[in-house]
Structure 1
Amino acid sequence: MTQTFPTARAYRSHAHATLSAQVALDYDGRFLRRKMLTTDDGQSVLVDLAKTTSLDHGGVLVLDDGREVGIVAAPEELLEVTGDDLPRIAWHIGNRHTPCQIEKDRLFIQRDHVIRDMLGKIGATVREVVEPFTPEGGAYGHGRTHGHAH
């Protein structure tokens, strides 16, 4: 006997209905096209999107039956970056096309010892933390900032 699972074939940036469940995914896990996920209530859901999609915190997967499953940014190992000249520090991070979450007094990036060393050399204070990661998207409507091909 073949087991069937609820299937999500659509993604929206925000909910239109009461959520039937939520799924917590780290930043890398929120970039997918086809994958089996387990919701917070233990339900298995097959994601089968038409193209690889960057799922944002607060977005929803729309199941074939109309139910919506919320996307939550899961806590992950990050570097918290602070310093006296945060705009300059942010420029150096962006110049390396490193995904970065920007807040008023601090930046967050994924842990990377090479970037950490560079940040220390330019006067940044870097601390390891575990928090949800919701970096800025691309400036031209692209959800991810990997590489130079826009």
Structure 2
Amino acid sequence: MRRATAILAAGTFAETTASVTLAAHDRHRRRFRMCDDSGAEFLLDLPNAVHLKDGDGLALDGGGVIVVRAAREEVADIHCNSPDLAARVAWHVGNRHVPVQVLAGGGLRVTADPVLMDMVEGLGASVTRHTAPFQPEPGAYDPHGLLAAPEPLVRWG
């Protein structure tokens, strides 16, 4: 069985031998038996659990790279019309300890949870439910997430 033992950051490799499409909750793994998109099995065998990002590569022991693709999921994009409301909504969403993706322009993307959506709409935010890839923030102490920390996208004031 093929064995993937290292992660290559997105954009650091050119050739791929296969792809694997995974939902956000399936992209946080250390050791797991998986199938690539063609159905061929491989073993993900990493030294530590890592949040895999869309475009990352899984380096195979015998050579080759399996590219990771973010699956389309039911998500909700949250947008606010002021910095004050954005801060309030972000605090309340963060207080629920749910995975969050920060969007360009300062919006938030979360999984489409009806209770959470009712709460943020009640606070005055607008919510758009749709299907899209979901790449939540990996956390401040995840070294893989910090390698490609984005530049600030919005400056208020």
Q: Secondary structure at the match of 2:17?
A: strand
Q: Deviations over 1:8-40 (max 9, x none)?
A: 122222343411111110100101122222222
How many residue pairs end up in the alignment? 140
Q: Which runs of 5+ in 2 are unaligned?
A: 146-157
CA contact (8 A) 1:17 1:68 kept: no
- The counterpart of 1:13, out of the listed 2, 9, 26, is 9
Q: Deviations over 1:41-94 (max 9, x none)?
A: 332211122222211111111111121111111101111212313632233323
| Percent of residue pairs identical | 35
- The counterpart of 1:76, out of the listed 42, 57, 73, is 73
Q: Which runs of 5+ in 1 are unaligned?
A: 145-150
Matches within 5 A, 1:28-107: 28-85=25-82, 87-88=86-87, 89-103=89-103, 104=105, 106-107=107-108
Aligned Cα root-mean-square deviation (Å): 2.1
- TM-superposed CA distance for 1:142, in Å, is 5.4
CA contact (8 A) 1:79 1:128 kept: yes
CA distance in 1, matches of 2:120, 2:127: 8
The answer for the alignment partner of 1:121 in structure 2 is: 122
Higher helix share: 2
The answer for the alignment partner of 1:132 in structure 2 is: 133
* Cα gap change, 1:141 to 1:35, in 2 (>3 Å): closer
User: TM-score, normalised on structure 2?
Assistant: 0.77
- TM-superposed CA distance for 1:95, in Å, is 3.6
User: TM-score, normalised on structure 1?
Assistant: 0.80
